[in-house]
A and B are shown apart, each in its own frame.
Chain A
Amino acid sequence: DIVMTQSPDSLAVSLGERATINCKSSQSVLSTSNNKNYLAWYQQKPGQPPKLLIYWASTRESGVPDRFSGSGSGTDFTLTISGLQAEDVAVYSCQQYYSTPLTFGPGTNVDVK
């Protein structure tokens, strides 16, 4: 099984500042056949279901603000929120879909400082 880890567990960022969340997989999720990283990011606000933000490690889902960006390859990935807004307070989780069992990171809690 591919184990996903995230850091930090939580972070508090001032409004308008940058938030950076890291995700690491225990083995590469980069496919050599199509050169794509099988990595997604989700946002979950309290009382709401998760929402897809990013897939293929860096492709933003339709309707997601461009302050959210994903980067990385292989085993190391980053979600960046450039200019935190109050509505971005949430738990952010990464997920690998390279192989089953599909696995998620434990989540990173983002709050306003």
Chain B
Amino acid sequence: EVQLLESGGGLVQPGGSLRLSCAASGFTFSSYAMSWVRRAPGKGLEWVSTNSASGSSTYYADSVKGRFTISRDNSKNTLYLQMSSLRAEDTALYYCTKEGVDPQVFYFDSWGQGTLVTVSS
């Protein structure tokens, strides 16, 4: 059974930094692209970033480009999201997601429970 367990969320001041982690199990982590998707309070789902299976390719939403960095450690089956220069509008529940069975096609067949990031002074 696929399991994705996010951690690292919390309360941070505007301009601060935070690193999210996602521990994956139940599948061959190194074979799948992984992504972060968020939902801000009262808003729809927003894709944040994707990391290819090998980690060699990364993609970002314009809203986080230059501030967030996605990475992975395939030896630890863990996905990361380093967030810096955080803004109030980054406040959201952040989900770790796994790509579906079709390689290099980014729909998400597994989701973690999410970790809450609150940016406030």
User: Which A residues fall within an 8 A CB radius of B?
Assistant: 38, 40, 42, 49-52, 55, 61, 93, 95, 97, 100-107
Taken together as a complex, chains A and B put the C-alpha atoms of A42 and B45 apart, in Å, by 10
> Are the CB atoms of B95 and A49 closer together than 8 Å?
yes
> Are the CB atoms of A103 and B47 closer together than 8 Å?
yes
> Are the CB atoms of A104 and B44 closer together than 8 Å?
yes
User: Which B residues fall within an 8 A CB radius of A?
Assistant: 35, 37, 44-47, 50, 59, 61-62, 95, 100, 102, 105-114
A-B contact list, 30 entries, CB within 8 Å: A38-B107, A40-B108, A42-B45, A42-B108, A49-B112, A49-B113, A49-B114, A50-B95, A50-B108, A52-B108, A52-B109, A52-B110, A61-B109, A93-B45, A95-B107, A95-B108, A97-B105, A97-B107, A100-B50, A101-B47, A101-B59, A101-B62, A102-B47, A102-B50, A102-B106, A104-B44, A104-B47, A105-B44, A107-B44, A107-B45
> Are the CB atoms of B45 and A104 closer together than 8 Å?
yes
Residue of A nearest to B109 (CB): A52
Taken together as a complex, chains A and B put the C-alpha atoms of A4 and B51 apart, in Å, by 23
Residues in B with CB closer than 8 Å to A103 are 47
